[in-house]
Copies of this chain bind each other. A is one copy, B any other.
Amino acid sequence: MFSKACEYGIKATIYIASNSHEGKRVSLKGISKHIDSPEAFTAKILQILARENVVNSIRGINGGFEIEESQLEKIQLADIVKAIDGDAIYKGCGIGLKECNEIHPCPIHNDFKIVRNELRNLLETTNLKSLAMDVNSGASFLKV
């Protein structure tokens, strides 16, 4: 479904969010440890997310990654996915037709539309704050 890079990106961002929500900045090392991801590869992904303004990166000693508290409710899962995998997954045709729509549908267009919209809805309406709070309360987990 999502690329590995995107999976790491989602987990990393939620981890950063859950710490930012508690006023803590986290380092790459801490992130990859907590989400169980390869450090250098995770760094690349965080670079992308920082460039796309999903997370803030702070260089130098005591640096790391954080998200402004005020942003936590504004950033949606879709922002992360879009930055890393693009939006084909929740906008494109299920079997890769370039032109696939109501008047020129692929064979699974109508059924797939439902899945895609469900996914799109999930991604576009789930904000970081709620995800972070679930992790903080122990209601959900980022690894294993």
Binding site for B on A (CB under 8 A): 1-2, 4, 7, 10-11, 14, 77, 89, 94-99, 104-109, 111-112, 114-115, 118-119, 122, 126, 131, 134-135, 139-144
Contacts and interface: CB of A to CB of B under 8 A. Distances in A.
- Count the copies: 2
B107 A140 contact: yes
A126 B111 contact: yes
13 contacts: A1-B1, A7-B96, A10-B95, A77-B108, A97-B141, A97-B144, A98-B144, A105-B141, A106-B142, A107-B142, A114-B122, A115-B115, A115-B122
B109 A140 contact: yes
Contact of A118 (B14, B77, B118): B118
